[in-house]
Amino acid sequence: MLELIHNLGIDWKVLIAQIVNFAILLFVLKAFAYKPILKVLNDRRKRIEEAIKRSKSVDKRMAEIEALKEEVLSKARRESQEIIKKAEEAAVRAKESILKEAHVTRDMLMAETEKKIQAEREKIFQEAKKEIANLIYTAVERTVGDLVDEKLKTKMAEDALKFVASRK
């Protein structure tokens, strides 16, 4: 085997020196390059994992916030619908109350006006009756003149007035 190595032109001293140099280079690279690179890669992997966890946490929190927002909006919509419904009902009640009050006021005014009209009619009727009585008395007095006394003239005027009143 030594002959084979010698025939290939390999010097065993140089080979051992190269093996020792390679081992030293391997140790130096492992100590000063490989470990720091591994440490940087591990640190970076940890930061990425933490960022992913935070991202998932943020996504979960965003979903919770979105659900809460939808719930609050839904509740606000329901409450606003209830408020609108109550306001509409109150408006209807107020309208009915106002209409009822207006009808009562109208009825009172109508009754009062009717009473006034009736009183005015009665007044006019009494005045007309008085005027007719005076006219009848004057007519009786002119017709009969001095032939009858005052009592009979008044009696004749009253009878004529009763006759006129009964023909109405």
**Do residues 124 and 108 make contact, with C-beta atoms less than 8 angstroms apart?**
no
Which residue is it, tokens 């190595």? 5
Q: What is the pLDDT of residues 75-99, one digit of tens each?
A: 999 999 999 999 999 999 999 999 9
- Max mean pLDDT range (25-39, 103-117, 151-165): 103-117
Domain containing 152: what range? Answer: 2-166
- Residue 168: the pLDDT is 57
Rounded to the nearest integer, the mean pLDDT of the chain is 89
Q: Which of 165, 148, 167 is nearest to 156 (CA)?
A: 148
Describe the crossing of helices 35-144 and 150-166 by its angle, rounded to 10 degrees.
140
- Residue 109: the pLDDT is 96
Any idea which of 40-49, 85-94, 152-161 has the lowest mean pLDDT?
152-161
Distances 128 to 23, 38, 84, 165 between C-alpha atoms, Å: 150, 130, 64, 11
- Answer yes or no: is pLDDT of 161 > 70: yes
- Residue 78: the pLDDT is 96
Q: Sorting pLDDT into bands at 50, 70 and 90, what band is 143?
A: confident
Helix H or strand E encompassing 11 = none
Q: Which of 132, 115, 119 is nearest to 168 (CA)?
A: 132
What is the mean pLDDT of the segment spanning 146-157? 76
Alpha carbons 166 and 168: distance in angstroms, whole number: 6
What is the mean pLDDT of the segment spanning 8-22? 87
User: DSSP string covering 6-61, please?
Assistant: HHHT--HHHHHHHHHHHHHHHHHHIIIIIHHHHHHHHHHHHHHHHHHHHHHHHHHH
**Number of domains observed in the structure of the chain:** 1
pTM of the model: 0.43
What is the mean pLDDT of the segment spanning 144-149? 73
- Answer yes or no: is pLDDT of 37 > 70: yes
